[in-house]
Amino acid sequence: MTSKLQVEAEVISENDLLASICRDSLWEFVKEFWGEITSEPLVENWHLRFLCWVLQSAAERAFQRQKNKYDILINIAPETTKSTLTSVMFPIWMWTHAPWIQTICASYALSLSLDLASKSRDIVQSAKFRALFPDISLRSDRNTVTHFQNLQNGWRYATSTGGSMTGMHGHFIIIDDPLNPKEALSPADLKTATEWLTNVVPKRKVSQENTTTIMIMQRLSRGDPSALWLDFHKRGMPLFHICLPAKLTGDVRPAYLRKYYKNGLLDPHRLGESVLKTQRLIGAFAYSAQYLQNPLPVKGGMFHTGKIAIEEIETLPAGWPLVRYWDKAGTPGGGAYTVGVLMGKSPHDFYWIFDVVRGQWDASERERIIKQTAQRDGIGVRVVVEQEPGSSGKEAAQSTIRNLAGFRVAADRPTGSKVARADSFAAVVNEGFVKMRKAVWNADYLTELSFFPDPGYKYKDQVDASSGAFNHLVKPTFRVGMVKL
């Protein structure tokens, strides 16, 4: 007959064994405590084990208070469990070896940082963690999501890019997505991140020689924080760079990891071909940067104009949604162009560029031509006029709308950069879903697209008008009858 003491001894022995396994391997810790923060099953893949090995190797040096060999930069696609590994699990796992470890964790938004911190704290306060590691518990007087501390003076502190870290000095500084992907091309956000990484983060180390800084992010642009660190590396900063594109490319770092890709894919379960195809359609620039970890060059490359089929066509097909989008300028004989792009969408989700009206006219001539074009297009074509910021832009748009009384017309107040607005249109161009009516304006149109967004090429008006027309076509559906071109 088994006694109560024997049962308790077996439980203690089992807990000790499991604690030892988790303590010896970050990857085993992740698998064991995954269910404490989510009800979704853990989808295993080789990249998770590799990243755990890299993180554990850095931590083991810290446990011995050895000199840091390098900081760590990890470029990897979204939806790859990177935040759970680095920001949630890793800081708590380190306490199982060295409960005195102090970790600063930052993301682009404080709300995101606090969400990750909350999950970390949930692990520490879980019944399983208390059973396996009873010596590690949180102080009641320092137990907030932003800053929680254990009884051995180890703590985890949450902040955001550009946020305050006054008085905090970490053995590890973990920067998880320092930029919001939706605002990655904002000069102001890039400047904030650059200044924070350069002037603030290095001063928040317990020791310049021993503290390890880890940044994990998807690539966002040629001037993003990854580019900043890679430039520092060229000038002597010790850095271990891991680059894991969603598809096998020459950018995989370290190069020996190429052999682990399955059918050319980093993770066939999370980022299979169907998922990546959908992401390509969302935006060419974003896909290349965030999923392939290779931001498109600044000089051109955004539009693969060879994918645009040019065909003869005399009339606009009946029943298709049609939009004429105007990007207005007001300088006669020079400067920017006024451009009106007529675009339609077929029932099979192909986009047709039917006409481009382009010229450098003064305001009076421009309004005459816009009205003349609307009369030629017919009332079945929806007219959209770009509204520039400010009161003068609003007045100019309203003037055009009054000029087009009787037509279906609306003002558009675009947001974001020209590149961001063009991204979705570039995606369908590059997938071969755009066709163009054969006409004399084709050459100038294709030239502008092929150079975009090269800052050295002066004109971007046709791209702006095209992306505006496309973005309106993917919204409500408009019907049109047969109209002579």
**Burial class of residue 381, CB neighbours in 10 A (0-12, 13-18, 19+):** buried
pLDDT value of residue 480:
40
Asked if 245 contacts 294 with a C-beta cutoff of 8 angstroms, the reply is: yes
Looking at the structure, tell me whether residues 204 and 142 fall in a common domain: yes
Helix ranges (H only) for 360-437 are 363-377, 390-403, 418-430
Per-residue buried b or exposed e for 359-378, using 16+ beta carbons within 10 Å of the residue's own CB: ebbebeebbebbbebbeebe
Looking at the structure, tell me whether residues 258 and 169 fall in a common domain: yes
Preceding amide of 347 cis, omega within 30: no
Domain-located, residue 105: yes
Pairing of strands 71-76, 322-327: unpaired
The last residue of one of the domains, among 261, 291, 321, is: 291
Looking at the structure, tell me whether residues 366 and 257 fall in a common domain: no
The last residue of one of the domains, among 266, 291, 316, is: 291
| Domain CATH code at residue 456 | 3.30.420.280
Cβ partners under 8 Å of residue 431, min gap 6? 280, 281, 307
The last residue of one of the domains, among 269, 291, 313, is: 291
Amino acid at 362: D
Looking at the structure, tell me whether residues 209 and 309 fall in a common domain: no
Looking at the structure, tell me whether residues 83 and 231 fall in a common domain: yes
Helix ranges (H only) for 211-348 are 225-234, 273-282, 284-286
Q: Which residues is 75 bridged to in the sheet?
A: 217, 243
Q: Using one digit for the tens of pLDDT, what is the confidence trace for 275-305?
A: 998 888 777 778 888 999 988 654 456 888 8
Q: Is 269 helix (H, G, I), strand (E, B) or coil?
A: coil
- Name the DSSP class of 266: S
pLDDT value of residue 222:
76
Looking at the structure, tell me whether residues 256 and 313 fall in a common domain: no
Nearest to 290 by CA among 398, 182, 363: 182
Q: Measuring CA to CA, how many Å separate 305 from each of 15, 256, 434, 462?
A: 62, 35, 10, 14
Looking at the structure, tell me whether residues 226 and 335 fall in a common domain: no
pLDDT value of residue 172:
98
Looking at the structure, tell me whether residues 339 and 411 fall in a common domain: yes
Domain-located, residue 257: yes
Domain-located, residue 420: yes
pLDDT value of residue 481:
41
Dihedral sign (CA 177, 181, 182, 187): positive
| Domain CATH code at residue 18 | 3.40.50.300
Domain range for 428 is: 305-484
Residues of the chain with pLDDT under 50: 7, 298-299, 477-485
Q: Using one digit for the tens of pLDDT, what is the confidence trace for 423-476?
A: 999 999 999 999 999 999 998 899 889 888 776 677 889 999 999 999 999 975
Domain-located, residue 315: yes
Domain-located, residue 38: yes
Looking at the structure, tell me whether residues 122 and 157 fall in a common domain: yes
Looking at the structure, tell me whether residues 318 and 286 fall in a common domain: no
Looking at the structure, tell me whether residues 347 and 279 fall in a common domain: no
When divided into structural domains, the chain yields a total of 2
pLDDT value of residue 455:
65
Looking at the structure, tell me whether residues 257 and 171 fall in a common domain: yes
Q: What are phi and psi of 46, to 5 degrees?
A: -60, -35
pLDDT value of residue 4:
59
Domain-located, residue 161: yes
